[in-house]
Amino acid sequence: MRESTGGTRERIQAVALELFTEQGYEKTSLREIAERLGVTKAALYYHFKSKDEIVNSFVEDRLRRMDELIEWAHTQPATLATRRTLIGRYAETMFGGDLPSVMRFFEQNQTVLKSLAAGKQMRERMMRLANELCRGDDTPAAQLRAALTLFAVHSSWFAVRAPRITDDERKKIALEVADELLAKIGSGG
């Protein structure tokens, strides 16, 4: 491998993600990842010591993006317009770049994620995002709607099973459902 260290890490992440999604996290070994990359296990170990480290590397970028969204939302007024912008930005982070593949991995490997520190950090950030979505309305119904709004974006990866649906169409549907929930937060309804 004569690539930069960053490029090599990205290749490892992409191949691992592909294998984890195809076979599942538990059934994929570091040896298989190295073989698909055409490198030795020692070369792979230079970048990642375990499959957990690879998964954590996927999550770190998502956590950073979520932290930026939470920070932004916290500086905005608790209005429907802010909530709509927040969920729109969140959807962009979930549908952009390699994220569709990562979301499919997350959806297919829920059990593994629950046991990893990265999964716990993702859940904590999701709750903080939900809190921002219902800020100003602390009713149980608003809290549930806020969480379901985020779930609408996530579940579109496995709940919408229409053949040949594009990622843009999937995102549009998710945001329409999310908007129905957001419209009731803070409305007393």
| Residue 99, pLDDT score | 56
Mean pLDDT within 63-75 = 94
Residue 97: band (very low, low, confident or very high) from pLDDT cuts 50, 70, 90: low
Residue 170: CB atoms within 10 Å: 19
| Residue 56, pLDDT score | 84
Mean of the per-residue pLDDT values of the chain: 87
As a whole number of angstroms, the distance between CA 89 and CA 170 comes to 15
For the stretch 79-89, pLDDT in tens is 999 999 999 99
Mean pLDDT within 11-25 = 89
For the stretch 108-156, pLDDT in tens is 777 777 777 777 888 899 999 999 999 999 999 999 999 999 999 888 8
| Residue 2, pLDDT score | 43
| Residue 3, pLDDT score | 46
| Residue 49, pLDDT score | 94
Domains of the chain: 5-47 (1.10.10.60), 51-182 (1.10.357)
